[in-house]
Amino acid sequence: MNQEVVKVILDCKKNIWKNPELFELVTLFTKEFFQMYQSVYNQQLLMFEKLRVRQSKLDKKVKRIYSWRKVSSMIFVATVAAVLICSVVAAAIATPDVAAALAAVTATPIGSMGKWIDSLLNNYENAMKEPKEVTFSMQVGTYVAIKDMENIWVLVDRLEVEIESLLHNVEFAIEEAVKVAIEEIQKKLGSFYEEC
């Protein structure tokens, strides 16, 4: 390595260290950078937590839909059973024409009501699926971003250690070069004194 180039680099480095504004220009990872990075990381963690809470609420709503579906099915089955029992009793007590008319009149509204309740629950369930899927996708994306930021943090730390090591090696090389140069000067000076 050319000693003059190394000397210029170190002189510039010393001048830059004296001026904080210039030092921030050449320093890759300032305190401000780390503060901003930590702030973004904390925001990602907060977003992940909010998404987790939202996902939990949506899961509870979907579970309630399933519960209501079961309850409505049980009510529907109980109603149909009651209508059948009433039809059998009416058939036993009344004439067959009255029993048939009673069964026809009650069967239509019960079937329509069952379909209506089922369609309401289906619509509500479908309305819950989309936000749940979007929230899940956002949660996965946020998790990946958090892990990427953690990996970047590790790489930045490693890079910072490498840069410090390189700077230390450069300083050591210059010190050694200066020692060698001083020894050469002393040898030449010694040989000069011997010649005189």
Model pLDDT, residue 42: 94
Over residues 123-150, mean pLDDT: 91
The pLDDT value given to residue 57: 94
Query: Which has the closest alpha carbon to 90: 104, 78, 79, 109?
Result: 104
Position 112 confidence tier, pLDDT thresholds 50, 70, 90: confident
pLDDT of 46 higher than 50:
yes
Q: What is the distance between the alpha carbons of residues 102 and 120, in angstroms, rounded to a whole number?
A: 28
> Tell me: the pLDDT tens digits for 165-185?
777 777 777 777 777 777 887
d(CA 86, CA 84): 5
Report whether 1 contacts 173 (CB < 8 A). yes
CB 177 within 8 A of CB 6: yes
**How do the domains of the chain map onto residue ranges?**
3-195
Distance CA 97, CA 91 (A): 9
Q: Which residues have CB under 8 Å from 177's CB, separation 6+?
A: 3, 6
Q: Two tokens at 117? A: 């309740």
pTM for the full predicted model: 0.58
Which of 66-80, 104-118, 133-147, 171-185 ranks highest by mean pLDDT?
A: 133-147
What tokens were used for 55?
């996902």
Least confident piece of the model among 147-151, 177-181, 192-196: 192-196
Give whichever of 22-26, 70-74, 168-172, 191-195 has the largest mean pLDDT: 70-74
Mean pLDDT, range 80-88, rounded to an integer: 76
Predicted local confidence at residue 179, as pLDDT? 78
7 vs 52: which has the higher pLDDT: 52
The Cβ of residue 135 has, within 10 Å, a number of other Cβ atoms equal to 20
pLDDT at 91: 72
Rounded Cα distance between 33 and 5, Å, is 30
**CA angle (162, 167, 169) in 5-degree steps:** 95
pLDDT reported for residue 23: 56
Q: Are 121 and 72 in contact (CB under 8 A)?
A: yes
Nearest to 117 by CA among 62, 148, 76: 76
> Is the model more confident about 139 or about 106?
139
Q: Which CATH fold would you assign to the domain 3-195?
A: Helix Hairpins (1.10.287)
Q: 139 with 48: CB under 8 angstroms?
A: yes
